[in-house]
């Protein structure tokens, strides 16, 4: 691990206005909420009590109004910064090499087992920070500036004796404890002090809605919490059943995925943030703190592929429960507990990341029609069943109802996987995924997992869809499948036709389509765009991993797949995290961060390569591959 030079910023603006790059953030979390920590030592994004709650720190979206909590050496003293997660955990360690010494900042949101929670009282929500001086003498500073409800207001901080500094917001109460005396202003708390080799300072920030809230002590207690949390994450990571050449990156992606999961319901949010731009200074800024059903198939493949059956089971359970109010119709996204997301609104008082306006909360895409979600959900269900999962009769009936809904509606135009806010079209990917939905139900019926499936009807509709795609989505002039029926444009989702088993990866048509995609969507030597018809944006992270997946599934040689995979790995940040997109010109992350979809794609691609290297049966979510995996 090498020291990296700090990002050069224009020095004419005040320090408070310097924007870290999106990749300069790392994430900490407790499977309920998450915080983004910049490599400057500042927490610039935190929403409590849930991922989709209003923020308490949001400097990532507005340097002046968002709110931040910085613990760091004086900026002018820092020579180099180095970051890592401690072992296979989500406990972050940032080391600052300064002119006069070295300090290490440890950041985490403590976690513990259910058994551990019963044996000691722990805060509902907590961020714990510890600074240790490793060498020399370093002048440190803390700047604690919480801001309420996405920077809309300032809290009134008050000192509660020796308990700490507290403030109230909405339904809950926040406490800040510090081992360093803090100077209290009306809405900020600050301190400046000097640390010498061997010195330690600790800070904890808690939130609770039910009094008396738990306020942990610092000192040995906090040190123990750091050790226990690190151990908890490491034990979770050690359960990964992956035995291949990419264990480090695959486990790190698994840890990111686990961190983005919401333990009380089993949901997995698409990302921890809202409105980080897909285009700097642009308006492609969306709230991703919800759960997209489109991620279902690849999520289950990643979780089952790594042996995380409990997490897969929780996710399936969440999916079946969350969609209950709309079944057999499926929305494209749900909240952590399955309700509709809040109405999409813009927050005009926030500048947005590097002036990328507007900042949005809520997501209006929830009302779109995207027929592909049916295939993604039923493919996930099929994978789960073929790995030993079973379903109650009521669930089986529900699955059949979903199938009937697909059989009756697959021919409609929709917004498609990329959810453009434009008029609906007949998307090839949506058609293929409707084919997948019926195909998986037929497989589930044949394997005895689902009863009372109208096989004749489903087989007939499946064939109709296949015929339509083969006849109208293939463009002989382009020698490629196209994004829409009778269309001219290509998009990267066509690569998934092989993953879902609609076309063999090594078929002439898929090879030709791949060649056309490489030519049309090429962003640089390694990355591809998702499409070229929309506004300018970065290369889409998961699409490049789909390319690897396609090659590993037979579209190319395994060496080609490995080479490309390893090239794409170069674009991860220093703590192995990916955003939604990558700027192909400079490799900078773009879009919401970290993005579960990208990490899921990474895991799937690595699994496909490893399966191919080992000569294992691939695509266990399909009927013919089921037996071996299930056994």
Residues of this chain that bind another protein (CB under 8 A): 117-121, 160-164, 166, 168, 171-173, 175, 177, 208-217, 220-221
592, 273 Cβ separation under 8 angstroms: yes
Whichever of 215 and 276 has its CB closer to another protein, that residue is 215
Give the span between the Cα atoms of 590 and 575, in whole angstroms.
16
Whichever of 168 and 192 has its CB closer to another protein, that residue is 168
Residue 76 has what DSSP assignment? G
Largest CA distance in the chain: 77
Give the span between the Cα atoms of 366 and 277, in whole angstroms.
19
Q: How far is the CB of 200 from another protein (least distance, A)?
A: 17
Residue 140 has what DSSP assignment? E
565, 606 Cβ separation under 8 angstroms: yes
Q: How far is CA 521 from CA 148, 166, 296, 526, 556, in A?
A: 42, 52, 25, 11, 18
Q: How far is the CB of 207 from another protein (least distance, A)?
A: 12
The continuous run of DSSP H or E covering 12 comes out as none
Whichever of 175 and 458 has its CB closer to another protein, that residue is 175
∠ CA(239), CA(252), CA(384), 5° rounding? 55
Whichever of 113 and 326 has its CB closer to another protein, that residue is 113
CA atoms within a 13 Å half-sphere pointing along the CA-CB vector of 450: 27
Residue 553 has what DSSP assignment? I
Whichever of 178 and 618 has its CB closer to another protein, that residue is 178
Whichever of 64 and 227 has its CB closer to another protein, that residue is 227
Q: How far is the CB of 146 from another protein (least distance, A)?
A: 18
Residue 353 has what DSSP assignment? G
Non-local CB neighbours of 105 within 8 Å, separated by 6+ positions: 41, 71, 72, 93, 94, 95, 96, 129, 130, 131
Q: How far is the CB of 214 from another protein (least distance, A)?
A: 5
Whichever of 14 and 211 has its CB closer to another protein, that residue is 211
Burial 81-119 (b: 16+ CB within 10 A, else e): bbbebbebbbbbbbbbbbeebbbebbbbbbbbeeeeeee
Q: How far is the CB of 263 from another protein (least distance, A)?
A: 15
Whichever of 175 and 529 has its CB closer to another protein, that residue is 175
Q: What is the CA radius of gyration of the chain?
A: 25
Q: What is the three-class DSSP state of 516?
A: helix
Whichever of 45 and 144 has its CB closer to another protein, that residue is 144
133, 197 Cβ separation under 8 angstroms: yes
Q: How far is the CB of 137 from another protein (least distance, A)?
A: 28
Whichever of 172 and 555 has its CB closer to another protein, that residue is 172
Orientation of helix 428-446 relative to helix 372-386, angle to 10°: 30
Whichever of 158 and 367 has its CB closer to another protein, that residue is 158
Q: What is the three-class DSSP state of 87?
A: coil
Q: How many CB atoms lie within 10 A of CB 16?
A: 12
Q: How far is the CB of 203 from another protein (least distance, A)?
A: 14
Q: How far is the CB of 224 from another protein (least distance, A)?
A: 9
469, 480 Cβ separation under 8 angstroms: no
Q: DSSP readout, 231-289? A: HHHHHHHHT----STTHHHHHHHHHHHHHTEETTTTEE-SBS-B---SSTTSS---B--
Q: How far is the CB of 309 from another protein (least distance, A)?
A: 26
Q: How far is the CB of 212 from another protein (least distance, A)?
A: 4
Q: How far is the CB of 503 from another protein (least distance, A)?
A: 52
Whichever of 166 and 604 has its CB closer to another protein, that residue is 166
Give the span between the Cα atoms of 347 and 628, in whole angstroms.
52
Give the span between the Cα atoms of 288 and 373, in whole angstroms.
17
Tokens linked to 124: 């509902």
Whichever of 8 and 114 has its CB closer to another protein, that residue is 114
Q: How far is the CB of 171 from another protein (least distance, A)?
A: 6
Orientation of helix 596-614 relative to helix 558-569, angle to 10°: 150
Q: How far is the CB of 413 from another protein (least distance, A)?
A: 46
Strands 474-475 and 125-145, bridge-based pairing: unpaired
């Amino acid at each position: 691990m090498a020291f990296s030079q700090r990002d050069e910023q224009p020095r004419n603006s005040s320090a408070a206005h310097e924007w870290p790059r999106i990749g300069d953030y790392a994430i900490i979390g407790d499977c309920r909420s998450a915080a983004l920590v910049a490599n400057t030592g500042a927490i610039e994004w935190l929403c409590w009590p849930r991922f989709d709650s209003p923020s308490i720190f949001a400097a990532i979206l507005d340097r002046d109004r968002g709110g931040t909590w910085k613990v760091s050496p004086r900026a002018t003293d820092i020579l180099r910064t180095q970051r890592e997660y401690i072992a296979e955990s989500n406990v972050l360690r940032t080391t600052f090499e300064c002119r006069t010494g070295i300090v290490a900042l440890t950041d985490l949101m403590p976690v513990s087992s259910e058994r551990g929670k019963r044996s000691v009282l722990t805060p509902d929500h907590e961020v714990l920070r510890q600074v240790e001086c490793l060498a020399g003498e370093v002048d440190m500073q803390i700047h604690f500036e919480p801001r309420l409800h996405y920077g809309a207001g300032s809290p009134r901080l008050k000192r509660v004796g020796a308990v700490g500094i507290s403030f109230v917001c909405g339904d809950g109460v926040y406490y800040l404890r510090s081992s360093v005396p803090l100077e209290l202003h009306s809405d900020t708390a600050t301190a400046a002090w000097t640390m010498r080799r061997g010195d330690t300072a600790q800070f904890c920030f808690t939130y609770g809605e039910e009094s008396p809230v738990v306020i942990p002590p610092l000192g040995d207690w906090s040190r123990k919490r750091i050790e226990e949390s690190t151990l908890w994450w490491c034990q979770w990571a050690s359960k990964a059943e992956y035995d291949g050449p990419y264990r480090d990156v695959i486990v790190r992606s698994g840890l990111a995925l686990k961190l983005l999961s919401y333990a009380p319901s089993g949901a997995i949010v698409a990302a921890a943030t809202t409105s980080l731009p897909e285009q700097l200074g642009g308006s492609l800024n969306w709230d991703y703190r919800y759960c997209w059903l489109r991620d279902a198939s690849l999520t289950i493949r990643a979780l089952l592929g790594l042996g995380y059956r409990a997490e897969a089971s929780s996710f399936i359970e969440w999916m079946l429960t969350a969609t209950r109010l709309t079944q057999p119709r499926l929305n494209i996204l749900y909240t952590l507990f399955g309700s509709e997301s809040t109405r999409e609104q813009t927050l005009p008082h926030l500048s947005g990341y590097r002036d990328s306006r507007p900042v949005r909360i809520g997501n209006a895409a929830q009302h779109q029609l995207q027929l592909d979600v049916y295939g993604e959900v039923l493919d996930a269900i099929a994978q789960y069943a073929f790995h030993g999962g079973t379903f109650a009769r009521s669930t089986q009936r529900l699955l059949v109802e979903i199938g009937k809904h697909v059989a009756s509606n697959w021919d409609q135009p929709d917004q498609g996987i990329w959810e453009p806010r434009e008029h609906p079209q007949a998307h090839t990917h949506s058609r293929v995924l409707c084919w997948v939905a019926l195909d998986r139900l037929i497989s589930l019926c044949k394997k005895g997992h689902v009863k009372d499936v109208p096989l004749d009807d489903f087989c007939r509709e499946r064939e109709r869809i296949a015929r339509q795609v083969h006849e109208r989505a293939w463009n002989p002039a382009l020698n490629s499948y196209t994004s829409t029926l009778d269309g001219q444009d290509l998009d990267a989702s066509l690569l998934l036709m092989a993953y879902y088993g609609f076309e063999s990866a090594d078929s002439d048509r898929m090879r030709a389509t791949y060649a056309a995609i490489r030519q049309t969507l090429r962003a640089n030597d390694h990355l591809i765009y998702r499409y070229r018809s929309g506004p300018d944006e970065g290369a889409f992270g998961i699409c490049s991993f789909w390319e690897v997946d396609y090659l590993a599934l037979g579209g190319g040689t395994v060496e080609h797949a490995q080479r490309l995979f390893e090239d794409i790995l170069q674009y991860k940040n220093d703590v192995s995290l990916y955003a939604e997109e990558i700027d192909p010109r400079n490799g900078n992350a773009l879009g919401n961060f970290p993005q579960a979809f990208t990490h899921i794609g990474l895991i799937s691609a690595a699994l496909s390569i490893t399966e191919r290297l080992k000569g294992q049966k691939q695509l266990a979510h399909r009927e013919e591959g089921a037996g071996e995996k299930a056994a």
